[in-house]
């Protein structure tokens, strides 16, 4: 099995089979417009521009599951991303990414790249771990998505080869991306 077995709806509501991305390296990320990690859109767009011609696609999946941080409509999300961060990579409809209602794609991603913890040597990682363990312990347990801007790296054959948690800046993923191009 691979990510190519899954489909989603574009932010405009059109069906998209992920098989359309065969042969491309992918970063699949759940996003939100009103999150402390929202500025990562800038880094994601930078990576997209830098590596797109070499075969990288970044696929953004807005989600409102974490503190209601994606409250707008798809049109509002798309406009926000374009105006504030110049996003040109593909965006999809708002998506459930964790729990029993999670879409099959995000259940698959979480199974293929289990949660290995936050880098508590960084301030962001230590704070995120503490927050989740204290306030949302059920989110911290298991392999599900922990928060907005969890990033999955997928090779050109559709295999999930890496997971980068919310606290990891997109620029820190460049070596993993370059290895696939």
CATH code for the domain in which residue 150 is found: 3.40.30.10
Helix ranges restricted to H, 102-165: 104-112, 123-135, 137-140
pLDDT of amino acid 47: 97
Split into its structural domains, the chain has a count of 1
Q: How far is CA 40 from CA 9, 13, 83, in A?
A: 23, 24, 15
Given 26, 35, 168, 177, which residue is catalytic? 35
On average, the pLDDT of the chain sits at: 96
Cβ 55 vs Cβ 156: under 8 Å: yes
For the segment 83-110, the average pLDDT, to the nearest whole number, is 96
pLDDT of amino acid 19: 97
Can you give the residue range of the structural domain that contains 144? 3-178
- Please write the tens of the pLDDT for every residue from 106-157: 999 999 999 999 999 988 999 999 999 999 999 999 999 999 999 999 999 9
**N-term to C-term CA, the chain:** 21
Of residues 64, 54, 67, 2, the one with CA closest to residue 28: 2
Cβ 120 vs Cβ 126: under 8 Å: yes
Active-site residue flag, 35 = yes
pTM of the shown model? 0.96
Decide: helix, strand or coil at residue 79.
Answer: helix
């Amino acid at each position: 099995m691979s990510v190519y077995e899954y489909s989603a709806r574009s932010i405009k509501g059109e069906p998209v089979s992920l098989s359309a991305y065969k042969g491309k390296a992918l970063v699949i990320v759940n996003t939100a417009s009103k999150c402390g990690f929202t500025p990562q859109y800038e880094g994601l767009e930078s990576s997209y521009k830098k590596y797109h011609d070499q075969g990288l696609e970044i696929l953004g999946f807005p989600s409102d599951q974490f503190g209601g941080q994606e409250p707008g409509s798809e049109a509002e999300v798309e406009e926000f991303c374009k105006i504030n961060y110049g996003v040109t990579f593909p965006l999809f409809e708002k998506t459930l990414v964790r729990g029993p209602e999670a879409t099959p794609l995000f259940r698959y991603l979480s199974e293929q790249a289990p949660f290995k913890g936050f880098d508590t040597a960084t301030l962001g990682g230590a704070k995120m771990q503490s927050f989740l363990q204290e306030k949302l312990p059920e989110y911290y347990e298991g392999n599900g998505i922990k928060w907005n801007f969890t990033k999955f790296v997928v090779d050109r054959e559709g295999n999930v080869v890496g997971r980068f948690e919310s606290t990891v800046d997109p620029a820190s993923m460049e070596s993993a991306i370059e290895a696939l191009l």
